[in-house]
Chains A and B, each alone.
Chain A
């Protein structure tokens, strides 16, 4: 009973939180909610299948760009819908052609994808529309952005929970363990992977679309910032990418740590960030949640 009531109660609490904080506090809430959403959406596909995707920003940036292009032509909900469709179409095209790549090839491909999208958009804007920067003047308040992001994040985690219990989640786990076995046990590899990839990409695109009013001015070099992809991966890994709450658990403390570091050590921030990153890979490679679970089990056994 408590397990069922807890998440909605927590969500309600999170939703009224902005009433009690300063603008900066709200900024922090938005940032944390964004990264929780990004990391959870990333883990929706990559956590179970072990396909490490660095294409997060390719979708996130596409979402922001879609809003920049359409915000004056269409009402806001329609803009979001278009952004989601663009993300889905892109993920479908990319997924159909790439999901047979494995290991390091997939990692590198996803990394290159963000660059290609950025180059193509630049070329198109320069040669076809003749302008490069675009403006987003939407009447969306910071609180509005927070609530939308909170809703998206909650939906992502709920969706992950549902998938984990469904046939799709089962299939993804088998694929993550061994693709050969998965194929022999009758799982349609391509369709399973594609479904998860597209779902995850749509959420990433929406996240980009929702935050974009905070940018005001959009340029490819601003929205396709590769650091976003890497931060997402490391946050999900820190918490435990194949656990439901793992990505969220990794995203919040890391986000706050980055914020604190950059305020207190502006000069040595990249050095500390690098050390933190390496520390995560070395010390908690499976993530905090699985490590904690193992610890608990050992306690229980002893």
Chain B
């Protein structure tokens, strides 16, 4: 029983963590709290399904293309919409509020676009649905794939941030956007890259979600909320923290569902989330500042 809970929880956590990676990156580096994040993932999911149903392209194969498209869309969006807000705020706290309100407008815009393009129906495909035996526990292959994508993308991101020059610039901007230009870093360019990379990760998560979950054009908020909870728990902008928090959340939800009461899974999530905010706003895995 414990192994079942453990494995199911870890797989679930992997899918959660994948969803949260992009959001934490967008906030950590570009300082944009993107409330339309879920709609981004949803748009990618619709795209993946359209490609699958239209030309029979497996979401697994279309995923790199969709991620690239997500990067492009994020890049463009930052340039057109976020950049003026950043410039206006001049590095002050205004940006956080402005970005929340602006991306809330974006949320409606994207949701409306999705409704017009794909209608209000539930959308679902069955792809790689069969079970795979993991230590005696049957797990859906598509969820396992999402888990693998999460581990790969998350691992690569952590390594890149830690060991490359590019990663150093990213971390510098995240830590001290005001001082980064002093050492020759183009803050605007780095923030734009961070935001676009976050959008690419949202698209990746969306395309993998399309394989195992039924979704509809109005359901993006649910993804955003879940990602937000994980981002806060892991520490805003903290990529390894988001990974760890995602796994922790998956384990907690599965544990609450099996050992306590499935009716309390979401309440437990929010209680945990509010608890972390109150007692460790820097996140469970962040350093105290």
A and B: direct contact (Cβ < 8 Å)?
Answer: yes
Interface residue SS majority, chain B: helix
Q: Are A123 and B101 in contact (CB under 8 A)?
A: no
Task: Determine the residue in chain A with the shortest Cβ distance to B96.
Answer: A104
Give, as a whole number of angstroms, the nearest-CB distance from A247 to chain B: 15
Stretch at the interface among A35-43, A109-117, A208-216: A109-117
Question: Which chain B residues border A272 with CB–CB below 8 Å?
Answer: 112
Complex: how many Å from CA A252 to CA B33? 28
Question: Which chain A residues border B281 with CB–CB below 8 Å?
Answer: 101, 105
Complex: how many Å from CA A111 to CA B224? 12
Q: Which of A257-291 contact B (CB under 8 A)?
A: 267-282, 285
Complex: how many Å from CA A101 to CA B279? 10
Give, as a whole number of angstroms, the nearest-CB distance from A107 to chain B: 6
Task: Determine the residue in chain A with the shortest Cβ distance to B232.
Answer: A108
Q: Are A52 and B97 in contact (CB under 8 A)?
A: yes
Across chains A and B, the number of contacting residue pairs, with CB separation under 8 Å, is 116
Complex: how many Å from CA A113 to CA B225? 12
A104, A126, A278: the one contacting B106 at CB < 8 Å is A278
Q: Which of B254-286 contact A (CB under 8 A)?
A: 261, 263-264, 266-267, 270-271, 273-274, 277-278, 281
Question: Which chain A residues border B107 with CB–CB below 8 Å?
Answer: 274
Question: Which chain A residues border B93 with CB–CB below 8 Å?
Answer: 50, 103
Residue A22 CB within 8 A of the other chain:
no
Residue B56 CB within 8 A of the other chain:
no
Residue B162 CB within 8 A of the other chain:
no
A52, A104, A112, A274: the one contacting B105 at CB < 8 Å is A274
Number of interface residues of B (CB under 8 A): 43
Question: Which chain A residues border B113 with CB–CB below 8 Å?
Answer: 271
Task: Determine the residue in chain A with the shortest Cβ distance to B105.
Answer: A277
Q: Are A109 and B277 in contact (CB under 8 A)?
A: yes
Give, as a whole number of angstroms, the nearest-CB distance from A110 to chain B: 10
Residue A159 CB within 8 A of the other chain:
no
Give, as a whole number of angstroms, the nearest-CB distance from B80 to chain A: 11
Q: Are A116 and B270 in contact (CB under 8 A)?
A: yes
Q: Are B277 and A112 in contact (CB under 8 A)?
A: yes
Question: Which chain A residues border B84 with CB–CB below 8 Å?
Answer: 282
A113, A126, A267, A279: the one contacting B116 at CB < 8 Å is A267
Given known pairs A112-B270, A119-B270, A281-B98, the reply for A269 and B112 (CB within 8 Å) is yes
Complex: how many Å from CA A33 to CA B63? 49
Question: Which chain A residues border B81 with CB–CB below 8 Å?
Answer: 278
Given known pairs A52-B100, A104-B236, A113-B274, the reply for A274 and B110 (CB within 8 Å) is yes
Complex: how many Å from CA A276 to CA B109? 10
Q: Are B109 and A108 in contact (CB under 8 A)?
A: no
Given known pairs A101-B281, A270-B115, the reply for A234 and B270 (CB within 8 Å) is no
22 contacts between A and B (CB under 8 A): A97-B278, A103-B93, A104-B27, A104-B100, A107-B97, A107-B100, A109-B278, A111-B228, A112-B228, A116-B270, A126-B263, A230-B104, A234-B101, A269-B112, A270-B111, A273-B105, A274-B106, A274-B107, A275-B109, A277-B104, A281-B85, A281-B101
- A111-B228, A278-B102 given; 11 more Cβ-contact pairs under 8 Å: A101-B278, A101-B281, A104-B236, A108-B33, A109-B278, A116-B270, A120-B267, A270-B112, A271-B112, A274-B108, A282-B102
A residues with a Cβ closer than 8 A to B are 50, 52, 97-98, 101, 103-105, 107-109, 111-113, 115-116, 119-120, 122-123, 126-127, 226, 230, 233-234, 237, 267-282, 285
